[in-house]
Amino acid sequence: ETAVFQTPNYHVTQVGNEVSFNCKQTLGHDTMYWYKQDSKKLLKIMFSYNNKQLIVNETVPRRFSPQSSDKAHLNLRIKSVEPEDSAVYLCASSTWGGQDTQYFGPGTRLLVL
Provide the binding-site residues for another protein, judged by CB under 8 A: 2, 4, 31, 33, 35, 40-45, 48, 50, 55-56, 58, 90, 92, 94, 96-107
Pairing mode, strands 108-112 and 87-94: antiparallel
Shortest Cβ 106–another protein spacing (Å)? 5
The CB-of-13 to another protein minimum distance in angstroms stands at 23
Q: How far is CA 87 from the centre of its chain?
A: 11
User: Which of 20, 106 has the CB closer to another protein?
Assistant: 106
What distance in Å separates the CA atoms of residue 39 and residue 41, rounded to the nearest whole number? 5
- What backbone torsions phi and psi does residue 20 show, to the nearest 5 degrees? -135, 135
Comparing CB distances to another protein, the nearer of 45 and 72 is 45
Dihedral pair phi/psi, residue 85, rounded to 5°:
-80, -10
Is the CB of 14 or the CB of 98 nearer to another protein? Answer: 98
Residue 92: exposure state from Cβ atoms within 10 A (0-12, 13-18, ≥19)? buried
Least separation in angstroms between CB 1 and another protein:
11
Q: Closer to another protein at the Cβ: 14 or 41?
A: 41
